Amino acid sequence: MAIASLAVVLLLITAGCTQPAGTTTTPATGAAAAPVKELVIGYQPSTHQMAFVTAMEKGWWAEDLAPLGVKKVSDKVFPSGPSEMAAMQAGDLDVAYVGSAPFLTALGTGLDAKIVAGVNTQGSDLVVANSIDYTGPESLKGKTIGTFAVGSIQDTILRDWLKKNNVDPDKDVTIAPMSPGDAVTAILASKIDAVFLPAPSPSVVVNQGKGKIVVHSGEMYPNHTCCVLVVSGELIREHPEIVKQIIATNDKAVAWNQANLDEAAVIYANKTSAKLEDVKSSLAEWDGNWASDPNLIVDPVLDYAKIQYDLGYIKKQLTKDEIFDLSFYQTS
């Protein structure tokens, strides 16, 4: 009887030692989770998310995740956060570089995912056409401002800033939801009066001689969070080792970008077809910062959740535990 029991134990140990790479045990059931063979990462063409671009173009995502059983890493580009979060809710993305505000909107409507790391703070600008005599927020009354879709980080910050400066975002101005490309085209063609967009789009307008940066987003909301690193709940629960490596690869790319800014700008321009001049101008002009530690952004993100609740974008106040999984960064 004892010999038979010992044989069973040895068999289980042997089976555990020979699990294929990328296979883990699901804590809830104790069963082996299916290996992740392909990982799909969503991103937007903004210098806010240069860490993703650098890691992708240098092959670091594939190289770093291969030992964990991931055979392919692919990416999908989106014009703004709301459409990216719609794709994640549809199951098309495993990981997303995205603004914290659209993530909160999606989370409030059932998205199974959490923030595991920060990506950047601040880094968006209000640009007005040269014909506009900007003297402060009230001088925007009667004007049309192009920005990202409802629920985006830019839409959230802009509306909150206007309200705090006695400008009704629904009555005193027209906020036109647009992709960054459409918004830039519109102000260059004098079809709108201003844009509020993330870098590098403001520099595109300025370099074309069609506008001027009048307010940095950090002036609207000091030290505000912008983009974050979001991972699906399934990946967090079943493959924590992959999540740890995703964070480590992101951190590696951030450090490399900071040490090699000119080369990073070239990589970004080549990946996104942006003009190198605009990318370099953007990095010189923006007030942003690439910040990975999610512990530093808890309060601003919770503040966004309150703002979105007050704006009616989400139906309940989201909690810290619903939004974040901070354990990976602490142990990565």
Residue 90: burial class (beta carbons within 10 Å; 0-12, 13-18, 19+): exposed
The DSSP 8-state label assigned to residue 324 in this structure reads B
Q: How far, in Å, CA of 332 to CA of 328, rounded?
A: 6
Strand 227-232 and strand 113-118: pairing? Answer: antiparallel
At 221-260, the pLDDT tens digits run 999 999 999 999 999 999 999 999 999 999 999 999 999 9
**Residue 25: its pLDDT value, please?**
55
Cis peptide bond N-terminal to 200, omega within 30: yes
**Residue 23: its pLDDT value, please?**
52
Which tokens sit at 158? 């802009």
**Residue 26: its pLDDT value, please?**
56
**Residue 291: its pLDDT value, please?**
87
Identify the three-state secondary structure at position 206: helix
Are the C-beta atoms of residues 187 and 127 closer than 8 Å to each other?
A: yes
**Residue 13: its pLDDT value, please?**
35
pTM for the predicted model, two decimal places: 0.87
Helix/strand/coil (H/E/C) assignment for every residue in 238-282: HCHHHHHHHHHHHHHHHHHHHHCHHHHHHHHHHHHCCCHHHHHHH
**Residue 2: its pLDDT value, please?**
38
> 264-277: buried (b, 16+ CB within 10 Å) or exposed (e) per residue?
bbebbbebbebeee
Ranges of residues in the chain with a pLDDT under 70 are 1-32, 331-332
**Residue 34: its pLDDT value, please?**
83
